[in-house]
Every structure is written in C-alpha cells, then in structure tokens.
Amino acid sequence: MVPGPGADSLPDEGGSAELVRRIQAGDQAAIQDLHTQFATGIEFLLRRKLRKPSVSGEVARVIEAAIQEIQRSSAVNLRRLVAHAMHRLFPLVVTETTPDVADPSRERVARSVLTKRPPLEQDILRRYYVLQESTGAISKRLGVSPGTVEKTIASARADFLRKAQRTESA
C-alpha cells in the first residue's frame, strides 16, 4: 500500500533515531520533542478508543511508557514503540456492539470494504477485528511486517468510515 497524504509530516527515520539517542542520553528537551511529535496523535486515538473527551492523563502514561522502553532498548522504531505502549496500556475493550452489529447498513458497508480487499488483507482484518489478535501476533503468524498489518487496518478503517458517512448522509 502507498502512504497517504500526511505521511510526510511523520517524523523521519533519521530524526527519530536522533531523538531516541537523545532520550537515551537523558536529554529533557528530547522528551519534550517526543511529546510534541506524538501527543496530538495519541490523544486523537485514545479519545476514539476510550470514548472519552479528555485523555490528557492517558496520553502522559503512554509517553512515559514509551520513554521507559526507549531507555531500556538499544534500537527503537519510535512510531511502533509508541503504538505498542498505547495498545499495551489501553487494550481494546469490547463494549456493547449490538447496535452496530444490528445495523444492516453498517454491516453492508463493512462487508463491502472487506470483499474489495485481497485475501491477505481480509485475513489480517479478520484476525484483528474478529479474533482480536494483536498486530504483533498477526505479523508473526502471517509472515508480514507489523507496518503492513497496521497500514491494512488503518486503510480499511478509513474506507469504512468514509463509506459509512456517505451511507448515513444519503
């Protein structure tokens, strides 16, 4: 899959490596830089995941967990580490899904998104949403990179939201 718009705004690999090195050296400004680069995205994702209007404490916990992991590790993929910290601290909580499942229009949208995906992506999505496997477990089981798993999930979610919004506004 090709990166979408906004991919250029993500921290580059060289900048991430330098930021990791600075955090490992105890540079407090680097910790602030990490917060600046990731807090908004973490906040957005946690608001959706936790369905809470304010998640500032949770954002701080994710960043602190990421900093601790950076300080323990020798080589770090910063984006993956932050995502892993967020998922570890705030695992997917299955809540009342009956209204969504019972909504035939949302179910049709979900099926249309799924059927247009290649078999590998369908398997990734089934494992993630139905079997609730972690992205790491899916990656290992299917022999694909964690980035491929994450991109597949993000792309399918974006397609679903776009199509669901069109359906609701029609």
Q: What's the CA gap between 61 and 95, in Å, rounded? A: 23
Q: What's the CA gap between 56 and 16, in Å, rounded? A: 23
Whether 155 has a pLDDT exceeding 60, the answer reads yes
145 neighbors 127 (Cβ within 8 angstroms): no
Whether 88 has a pLDDT exceeding 60, the answer reads yes
Enter the DSSP assignment of 160.
H
Q: What is the pTM of this model?
A: 0.49
pLDDT digits (tens, 9 = 90+) for 11-60: 455 678 889 999 999 999 999 999 999 999 899 888 888 888 888 899 99
Whether 79 has a pLDDT exceeding 90, the answer reads no
**Tokens read off for 99:** 């209204």
50 neighbors 90 (Cβ within 8 angstroms): yes
**Tokens read off for 8:** 């250029």
- Distance from the Cα of residue 63 to its chain's centroid: 15
- Residue 113's Cβ-count burial label (10 Å; 0-12, 13-18, 19+) is buried
Q: Tell me the backbone φ, ψ of residue 44, rounded to 5 degrees.
A: -60, -50
